Amino acid sequence: MKKMKFFKGYVLIVALVLVLAGCNKEASSDGNVSAATDKVTLDISLSLAEGSFADVGVQKFKEELEKLSDGEIELKVYYNNTFGGEREVIEMMGINSLAMATSSSGALGTWTQEFNMFDLPYLFRDHEHAYKVFDSEIGEELAAKFEESANVKILSYWTAGYRYLSNSIKPVKHVSDVAGMKQRVQENQVQIDTWKAYGANPTPMAWTEVFTGLQQGVIDSQSNPLDSINTMKFYEVQKYVSKLPELYQPYLLMISKPKFDSLSKEHQEIVLQAAANSVDHARKGFEKLDEEATEILKEKGMEILETDEIDVDSFKERAESVYEKWAPEFGVEFIEKVRNF
């Protein structure tokens, strides 16, 4: 009888150990959640380098995320298109094979055409005008449409500011100066139409190919924030920069909708709060780095034309045809609402 009781007790203990082991295995099977601590690890992809304006925002988000969660949520940052270009990482988030990414708005138009509105030239007067639009119901409505179509949730509107023109041929002061210039654009029809209107030769090219394209002469010019021109070392293959206030884009912090939905309610709220807390820091950080980049690029040998040295009106006149084509697509009243916000 004692042996029988001992045997039953032994079997019970073994069964309990097996159940606990199975639970532990199940909880950690996706590689993102530790059963012992319920720790969540989120991977985030950046198209830009460490120390870039994008990284400034991401590091603030990471700090807030880990502080608010008491270390339960960890953010692992991957730079320079480790997982692919902006379109590729959006696709990956949509099928839950990547947790998070940042992107300029130029890549989002594939899923939500209204995001192409941000590629219309001379849409915003300045940073403050853009921020008001991003933070309004306009930004909320666009985010909701994108979430529905891409299965990706926009957490915050940061900024990529003005995309200033750099080239290897000559100083650009007038629209006639870009005639025939091979200008890199994103795979975005609004950008293509804009540079055709200027008389240039727009060439769609993935961000990962731009430096090599400039180096080999496949393209002559490109437009990006000054900080990106600096961190990507375009000064090695470009001589001139024109601060043409032509294109102003938001920069988005995003998370896979399936990944977000898989988080606990508490962790979801922490992610949302951390993203909200990062906005002001990301925007001010961009402005600071962009200002500092002007002097750095001059030291690297680039010639920089300030906005007041450029005949901006000559570009605006050519851009009217772009509005004539695209305003009906986005809604004439909607475009006017944004411009006059």
Count other Cβ atoms within 10 Å, centred on residue 318: 19
Output helix, strand, coil percentages for the chain, rounded to the nearest 5: 55, 20, 25
Within 8 A by CB and 6+ apart from 2, the residues are none
Distance CA 53, CA 161 (A): 10
Residue (of 300, 173, 169) closest to 226 by Cα position: 300
Q: Which residues does residue 16 pair with via DSSP β-bridges, in sequence order?
A: none
- Going residue by residue through the chain, which has 341 residues, state the pLDDT in tens, using 9 for 90 and above: 444 444 444 444 434 444 344 444 443 333 344 444 579 999 999 999 999 999 999 999 999 999 999 999 999 999 999 999 999 999 999 999 999 999 999 899 999 999 999 999 999 999 999 999 999 999 999 999 999 999 999 999 999 999 999 999 999 999 999 999 999 999 889 999 999 999 999 999 999 899 999 999 999 999 999 999 999 999 999 999 999 999 999 999 999 999 999 999 999 999 999 999 999 999 999 999 999 999 999 999 999 999 999 999 999 999 999 999 999 999 999 999 999 99
Distance CA 50, CA 197 (A): 36
pTM: 0.85
Count other Cβ atoms within 10 Å, centred on residue 62: 20
How far apart, in Å, are the Cα atoms of 129 and each of 132, 135, 284? Answer: 5, 10, 15
The structure tokens listed for 35 are 């059963």
How many residues does the structure list for the chain? 341
Domains and CATH numbers, the chain: 32-161+249-291 (3.40.190.170), 164-247+292-339 (3.40.190.170)
Distance CA 105, CA 67 (A): 29
